[in-house]
Amino acid sequence: MWLRQEVSEAHARTAIVLMGALILAASARGARTGGRSPFLQSTLFGFGVHGVGHLALTALHRGYTPGAATAPAIVLPYSLWAWRRLGRAGVRRDDTRTWVGGAALLPLTLGGVHGAAHLLTRWAAKRRAARTSAA
C-alpha cells in the first residue's frame, strides 16, 4: 500500500518545503485580499484536513508516522487560528465551494507535492552521483 512506502529523509524534507511554499503563496494572496481570497481559504481548509489526516494515519498505523508531531503542534493550531481570524474579520467563506474545493484539491496537492519531491530528490541524487564519478 502506498501509505506504507518509506520515503527518504530528503524526500520528506523536500515535500515539507513544497507544502510550505504553497501555504506561503496562499497566505500572501490572502494578505493582498484582506483574507477574502478563495485560494487562501480553500488552501487553509485543505491544510487543516491534511493535519487531521496525519493524525488519522498515525492512529491507523498504531505508531509514529511522518507528520505525527507537526500536525498537532503546527498544522492544526495554525489552521484553527487563521480560520477564527477570518471569521472575526467577517471575511470567512463558510460555503460549500470553499469546503469542497479545499477537500477535493487536497489529494491533487499531496500527489503534486510528493511527485515533485520524488523528481527533485531523484534529480539531486543523479547530480551528486555524476559529480562523484567525475571527481
- In a domain? residue 103: yes
Quote the number of domains for the chain.
Answer: 1
Q: Does a structural domain hold residue 132? A: no
The answer to whether position 57 is within a domain reads yes
Residue 12 near residue 66 (C-beta atoms within 8 A): yes
Residue 1 pLDDT = 46
Neighbours of 109 (CB within 10 A): 18
Model's pTM, two decimal places?
Answer: 0.81
Question: Is the CB of residue 55 less than 8 Å from the CB of residue 71?
Answer: yes
Tens of pLDDT, residue by residue over 12-71, are 899 999 999 999 999 999 999 999 999 999 999 999 999 999 999 899 988 888 888 989
Query: Residue 102 domain-assigned?
Result: yes
76 found inside a domain:
yes
- The answer to the question of residue 72 being in a domain is yes
Residue 54: name the closest of 64, 73, 44, 68 by CA: 68
Q: Which residue range forms the structural domain that includes residue 69?
A: 19-30+38-114
